[in-house]
Amino acid sequence: MGPWVWSAYKAYNELLREKIKKRFDQQEGPWMDQLAGLLVELVNARWEGGRAGDKAETEILAKLNKLLGE
């Protein structure tokens, strides 16, 4: 009976995890989309480097600080 109980417990936790993820996506999804976009821009600016990359990185970090302050 042990493995079946463990399987049921695992399935319950997976279902709960999915429901929590859906709730977070509903409430925080748009904000997280903005955050993800800024992080991608930041990585790209660091990849480019040079003066243009440094200036872009500073601007992106300012946007990121503003977003995180909301």
Mean pLDDT across 44-54: 77
pLDDT band at 1 (very low <50, low <70, confident <90, very high): low
Mean pLDDT across 31-43: 92
Query: pLDDT at residue 20 above 70?
Result: yes
For the entire predicted model, the pTM comes to 0.64
Cα 42 to Cα 44: distance, rounded to the nearest angstrom: 5
Cα 46 to Cα 37: distance, rounded to the nearest angstrom: 14
Query: pLDDT at residue 9 above 80?
Result: yes
Nearest to 18, CA basis, from 10, 37, 2:
10
